[in-house]
Amino acid sequence: MSVFTDSDRYFFHQGKGYEVYKKMGSHIGAENGVNGTRFAVWAPNAKKVCVVCDALGWDNEQEMEPSYDGIWELFVPDVTTGDAYRYAIYDSEGERRLKSDPYSFRYELRPDNASVICPLREYKWNDGEYQSRRNNKVVIDKPMAIYEVHLGSWKKKYKDEDDPDGFLNYRELGDELAKYVSHMGYTHVELMGICEYPFDPSWGYQVTGYFAPTSRYGSPDDFRYMIDTLHRNNIGVILDWVPAHFPKDDFAMGKFDGTPLYESADPLRAEFPIWGTYAFDHGKPEVRSFLISSAFYWINEFHIDSLRVDAVAAMQYADFSREQWRPNIHGGHINLESTNFLRQLNCDLTTMTNGYLLAEDSSVEQGITNDVHIGGLGFVLKWNMGWMYDTLKYLSYDFHERRYHHGELTHIADYAFTENFILVLSHDEVQPEKASILHRMPGSYEDKLGGVKALYTFQFTFPGKKLLFMGQDYAQDDEWDVLKSLDWSVAEEFSHRDVQRTVRSLLSIYKENTVLHQDSKNPAIFEWVNRDFADANIISYIRKNPWNYDEAVLVICNFSPWYHNDYSCGVPLNNGAYTRLFSTYDNLPGCGGPGELGGYPKLYAENNPCDNRPFRIRYGLRPFESIIIKFPKS
């Protein structure tokens, strides 16, 4: 007897089976008074499909029952939680393939790869108060400062022969992350490499288990505890999710029933050569049901706040990483099937769940964060890859050379309001052979540290949400190594602790000042004061609400090692005291921080025009000093 209703089948084959994971895969229960597990798998071109299980002996095939629409089912008595299983799939030629279950909720710890029977729901959640406050409709108006984490290399315990990886459990990670992230003041954690994957150096971006948190750090309920703990500390959780491609491992989804099932049958669209992976066929309704139900699964069953969709550009362009490619029906290079999939995903997920989607997108296409009904893709936010590339490129030049590249830095404002952006300094920029953020900077070690603090001041005051990869907030010396823990001993050194305190102060100021976190596509929230001081490596700008200066702040970033003892900056008002909120020198002894000499001195505007404004303030700007100044009430 099938557990699939006619409605289940209809929506699955229409690409709208968003809760199909509740029927596909393995589900523990009782039938006719007998305890066991019911299995279901989609393999429409198979000649025969069997369940094989360690509890019954791997050679003992349990033949499944076919249906007219390619879904195979079977109830197997006396197998239950913790038992490993696979599907033995016989293709049309009778060749046998052993496959793990694409809908499995858990897998063996790599290098083993069998599916593991696991209940869908057992965990008792304690994040009700957090959930009651969630509202994905107002994300753009709220602070978002993301701490990007790779769990396996954030911290490790002592490794030995019995535990060569030294991974912490999800529960340990949840407790420690909640403490650190709360102390620093981040609003969200973004998790890399959670969906099960076989190859550590892929960082989790070659997924074989779209419904299973990786077993590297524990069980699905351990992972739920981690999310629960973060939520109870008012920390949102973002999950990296990869619907563009999947690896070619024999046990996984490739040629699942002997034919291209999840991947495209078109050889010009079937693969991404750049990654050596298969490309999902987003035009196939059953593939859309698989992927969108995975998104619903993480949000509904694990309380994930948001999914960060990886490699959006790869899905948008039919010619992405391909020398030979198939044009669309109009002769163009946009992959219409994939873009329609993204629109469907965004529209239905934000309408039917309390989650939302972020785009990791390097394309030049406009409208990634526009609503679907006006032709956009419907993402809430998009990674600003241009800001990351252009800023780091500018900062890599010697101080005297930067004058010739100043436009690369200031050009960022010309497109800052075309999308709803996140300003990212992500894992991509500190991976092996790219160097750490610290060592992208020229000059002495002290210069590099000063440059990092100036960069972070720029990031946390420029329009857009914020993201820092782990280790960057204390300026780790070494580039990131997925096989090693962060070097936390560096954070104990005074100069690096100073960087960490700077980030903590910036996080606080960012959250407390509405003009710094109410981002929109309205250019009136940003105003250049001087974008042309190229010789000095200095930029200055104002963040304000669109109508007045009541809550405005002035930001001055000095990216050079040069003193400006009488630096003048134009301002529009002369009706009260300007208050210095922050300086990158705040934590350095004897440098006039808020705790010294009675706090910050007030600044008063002079009736001298400057920077095309009627008044000016003067300030002794020190090497690499970047400051935030609060306007008087207008």
Q: CA angle at residue 187 from 182 to 191, to 5 degrees?
A: 95
Is the preceding peptide bond at 432 cis, omega within 30 degrees of 0?
no
Q: CB–CB of 454/624 below 8 Å?
A: yes
CA–CA gap between residue 32 and residue 519 (Å, rounded): 58
Q: CB–CB of 96/71 below 8 Å?
A: no
CA–CA gap between residue 413 and residue 541 (Å, rounded): 11
Amino acid at 11: F
Amino acid at 229: T
H or E, element range at 192? strand 188-192
Q: Is 250 a catalytic residue?
A: no
User: For residue 631, what are the CA distances in angstroms to 44, 383, 517, 571?
Assistant: 67, 30, 17, 9
Closest CA to 378 of 391, 363, 367, 362: 367
Q: Which of 101, 263, 310, 625 is catalytic?
A: 310
Contacts of 260 (CB under 8 A, 6+ apart): 270, 281
φ, ψ dihedrals at 383, nearest 5°: -60, 130
Kindly compute the dihedral angle of the four CA atoms of residues 120, 125, 129, 132, in this order, to the nearest 10 degrees. 10
CA–CA gap between residue 280 and residue 264 (Å, rounded): 6
Q: CB–CB of 369/129 below 8 Å?
A: no
Residue with tokens 């009651």: 132
Q: CB–CB of 28/14 below 8 Å?
A: no
What tokens appear for 113 in the block?
């790869």
Q: Which of 360, 361, 390, 428 is catalytic?
A: 360
Q: CB–CB of 71/38 below 8 Å?
A: no
Q: CB–CB of 496/478 below 8 Å?
A: no
CA–CA gap between residue 89 and residue 521 (Å, rounded): 52
* DSSP H helices in 318-429: 336-352, 385-396, 406-410
CA–CA gap between residue 429 and residue 416 (Å, rounded): 20
Q: Which residues pair with 86 in a beta bridge?
A: 52
DSSP state of 432: T
Residue with tokens 């406009």: 366
Q: Is 371 helix (H, G, I), strand (E, B) or coil?
A: coil
φ, ψ dihedrals at 38, nearest 5°: -100, 135
Q: Is 401 a catalytic residue?
A: no
CA–CA gap between residue 291 and residue 15 (Å, rounded): 9
DSSP state of 571: E
Contacts of 29 (CB under 8 A, 6+ apart): 35, 36, 37, 38
DSSP state of 590: T
Residue with tokens 């497109």: 415
Closest CA to 335 of 349, 352, 322: 322
DSSP string computed for 222-253? HHHHHHHHHHHTT-EEEEEE--SEE---TTSS
Q: Which residues are catalytic?
A: 310, 360
